[in-house]
A and B are shown apart, each in its own frame.
Chain A
Amino acid sequence: MKQEYTITVYTENHIGLLNRIAIMFSRRKINIESLNTSPSEIEGIHRFTIVINEAEDVVKKLVRQIEKQVEVLKAYYNTNDEIVWQQLALYKMSTDKVIADVKVERLLRKYGARAVVIRKDYTVFETTGHREEIDKLTEVLGSLGLIEFVRSARVAIINASSGFYEKLQEFEAEKPGEEIVENEFLDKQDEVFSM
């Protein structure tokens, strides 16, 4: 049975890794509902949060393949009740409309939206929550003069996780390899000898 799964991947910060991970989904014709990359609790280690709609069997195999990538430290998958998650949304509305229509204010209050920017011509609100709540608000605001809308990817915390420090220590138990300098050169384009 297909359901929403959140995949959390701890990785090295390596150029090209996003592509390597993304094509593992597209190869299997799986649509990525949401994808977020961010730093993790450990410096230098990145954390991917990927949401897909799939059967557990497929997700399990996929996660093992992801974990096989050289630069991936560990990958987990969780159902929605095993995580705490949020998404952020921004709404741009005409300020006149907001002032004129009491309904808008009531709605924003109901959904816990806050004003981020207030200008003469437009106002930007933000809200955080689950996708369904955000979608609902978007729907109603749509008919009340919504100018622009954007929603961020899901970020999620795994309920049962005790952080990645322990795992990392396990991985580093053997003697660590030499650090590789990342594409430092690209920053110094002018100094590059060219044809």
Chain B
Amino acid sequence: MSNTILIEKDKKNTGKEKPAAKRGKYAKGAEITGAQAVVEALIAENVTDFFGYPGGAIMPIYDALYDYMDTLNHVLVRHEQGSIHAAQGYARTSGEVGVVFATSGPGATNLVTGLADAQIDSTPVVCITGQVFASLLGTDAFQETDVINITAPITKWNYQITDATEIPAVLAKAFYIARSGRPGPVLVDITKNAQVQKFTYPGYKLCNHIRSYRPKPNIREEYIKEAADLINAAERPFVIFGQGVILGKAEKEFQHFIEKGGLPAAWTVLGLSALPTDHELNVGMLGMHGNYGPNVLTNECDVLIAVGMRFDDRVTGRLDKYARQAKVIHLDIDPAEIDKNVQSTVPVWGDCKETLPLLTALIWQKQHTEWLQRFKEMRKQEEEVVINDELNPQGEIMTMGEVIRVLNEICGGDAVIVTDVGQHQMVTCRYAKFNHSKSNVTSGGLGTMGFALPAAIGAKFGAPDREVVAIIGDGGFQMTLQELGTIMQTGIKVKIIILNNNFLGMVRQWQQLFNDRRYSFVNITSPDFVTLAKAYDIEATSISKREHLKAAIETMMNHDGAYLLEVIVGKENNVFPMVPQGCGVAEIRLK
């Protein structure tokens, strides 16, 4: 790899400096190629870091990129799936659009999982894929795939460019659609002839309006008023919030809202970190493996206020047993989410950055001491039955929870934590401490194993001055471990903890509880992770004893560079509490 990128990298890692209004190389009126126009678009959209993998059909764009090595940081991944997960991680921690380059055919199809993930988790990503020459479309040409149709259901928007003159306007539209309203992934497929075609550059005009697209529904004052009346009359109000608060950059507005109303608030997995963990009104996690109080009391509150969340089935359990007694106020930017799963009493359409302050202005300053006390009591019950044993186990074998506890003690809640999917994800979300928003990166809706390692790389590029710790299971790590190569090449300083229980733990837990311990293909063997990391020139250690845990995590955090720590944890530990499938939230099991 070139030295210029390494130097650039060091600069990045010491603090993120966005080059203000970087100038492109070409002015309006210049004769340039389509490929050059693509790269100019990135500059105009203020893209600094992005992820990709070259190939035949995108070669002209990579050729154009060669002239921009000093202004754009392209990260070469090891698999296209890694590039899109990295872009997702980047978008989550930076709050900006993640960008991906991939070639046609297999390059583009390898993006499919990431696109589906970004679509369901509303992550702003722009993917630019190469495509065969327009004259070859539909001829089964080498590396030709119908990417537009494959990705239609998993993109917010996609478009195929066959003429260079379309490039500036389409890319401006792509970035605008990806980041506005409810964000999502956009894919732009560019045929090779358009990349090499010369045209007179019209300049780059940012897009801010599409006639048929309404990113934000109009706010209806009467609903705000109705919602405020309900909240003011409530005796047991309960706020549940999701990623909408983070995507709307409305953390402050949200905090003012719950503080004024004295409203206890619980989060979905993707809403995690929007409100500091130790905020007195933060009562914990919702859903299948969420906290006891928030789940049980969902069915006892009189007014349920949902902010920027979509009542996913992992949150609600059985819908006919979900908050039937409550009046429901639903704040969401996406009108299609209102009444989709849970019928709302008052729908508050709009961007919560705008609706929350309007609502806060109308609600009364209040305390709900007794009601809040109920959450605290249930928290105590949960501590006695579940949490204490998980965080400070008496047994010899380590638990996942205690690893997170020690990590909390060392990082103090300031790190970005990236998780994969499975037991370790639920344990981390339950116990990790967060002081800052945009700190929890995980695959929530799609549940993509293999997400964490590449996402952590992207997360670090998106927040270079913060510590990024990836927590991954032994199964998920083996799905995308090739990205260790990306870490090696870029020198990106991510910390990786593998919680190894020698099982595909979540499936095993279900097989134990519901399939009579018939452990069908969940017994997974792993390579020697330490040797593996060292092969990629990454420092690594493996521990299995409690007395080494603290020192090992300290060593990892103090190490100047990437680090992999494998922690051997209990083979057959389960995540509790749990709302079994087909049960209502109030039927949550503590053991």
Contacts and interface: CB of A to CB of B under 8 A. Distances in A.
A171 B177 CA distance: 16
Given A192-B193, A194-B193, A70 B335 contact: no
Contacts of A119: none
A61 B208 CA distance: 28
Q: How large is the interface on A (under 10, 10 to 19, 20 to 34, 35 or more residues)?
A: 35 or more
A177 B166 contact: no
Interface string B174-211: 00010000000000000001101100000001011111
Given A20-B152, A183-B162, A178 B133 contact: no
B194 A185 contact: yes
Q: How large is the interface on B (under 10, 10 to 19, 20 to 34, 35 or more residues)?
A: 35 or more
Contacts of A12: 211-212
B134 A72 contact: no
Contacts of B336: 61, 64-65, 67-68
Interface string B99-114: 0000000000000000
A68 B207 contact: no
Q: Which of B148, B158, B210 has the most CB of A within 10 A?
A: B210
A72 B135 contact: no
B136 interface: yes
A61 B310 CA distance: 14
Contacts of A65: 336
Interface in B389-412: none
B334 interface: yes
A171 B133 contact: no
B170 interface: yes
B173 interface: yes
B135 A177 contact: no
A23 interface: yes
A172 B211 CA distance: 6
Interface string A177-195: 1111101111001001111
Contact of A193 (B133, B148, B209, B335): B133
A194 B136 contact: yes
A81 interface: no
A4 B169 CA distance: 41
A48 B170 CA distance: 25
B149 interface: yes
A184 B163 contact: yes
A183 B159 CA distance: 10
B213 interface: yes
A27 B119 CA distance: 15
A140 B194 CA distance: 57
24 contacts: A11-B212, A12-B212, A16-B148, A16-B158, A19-B152, A23-B152, A60-B339, A61-B336, A64-B336, A71-B213, A175-B208, A177-B173, A178-B172, A178-B205, A180-B166, A180-B170, A181-B165, A181-B166, A184-B163, A192-B134, A193-B193, A194-B133, A194-B193, A195-B136
- Report the 8 A-B pairs with minimum CB-CB distance, sorted nearest first: A185-B163, A64-B336, A192-B135, A185-B162, A73-B212, A70-B157, A194-B135, A70-B213
Interface of B: 133-137, 148-149, 152-153, 156-160, 162-163, 165-166, 169-170, 172-173, 177, 193-194, 196-197, 205, 207-214, 334-336, 339-340
Given A64-B335, A175-B208, 12 more contacts: A12-B212, A15-B160, A16-B152, A16-B159, A27-B153, A67-B335, A70-B157, A181-B165, A183-B162, A185-B134, A193-B193, A194-B136
Interface of A: 11-12, 15-16, 19-20, 23-24, 27, 60-61, 64-65, 67-68, 70-73, 168, 171-172, 174-181, 183-186, 189, 192-195
